[in-house]
Amino acid sequence: MENENVMRRLKTVEGHLRGVIRMVEEDAYCIDVIRQIQAIDAALNKVSTQILENHLNSCVITAIKGNNVKERERVLKEITEVFAMSAKV
């Protein structure tokens, strides 16, 4: 179910991106193009948030409840790295 929702959102983003490509090809007004790109960014951020939430509620919880200390450390480090990369963008 989660995967279906993510895929639906990504396909919507894909459609919007094709629309932006068309706008650029047709030399649309720059501000209109930027607004559409911002909408795509927001939609991708929503998808990313959904995927992260699913990951936290499955993989991370499993690792934290498990007995493998190295696995716990690995998943927590991954989360930290994801946030560090998002700050660089």
| CATH label of the domain that carries residue 34 | 1.20.58.1000
Number of independent structural domains in the chain: 1
pLDDT attached to residue 7: 96
pLDDT number for residue 1: 60
List, for residues 38-73, the tens digit of each pLDDT value: 999 999 999 999 999 999 999 999 998 999 999 999
Domain that holds residue 29: 2-88
**Average pLDDT over the chain, rounded to whole?**
93
What are the pLDDT digits (tens) for 17-35?
A: 999 999 999 999 999 999 9
pLDDT over 90 (residue 83) = no
- Percentage of the chain lying above the pLDDT 90 cut: 83
Integer CA distances (angstroms), 49 to 9, 30, 46, in order: 12, 29, 5
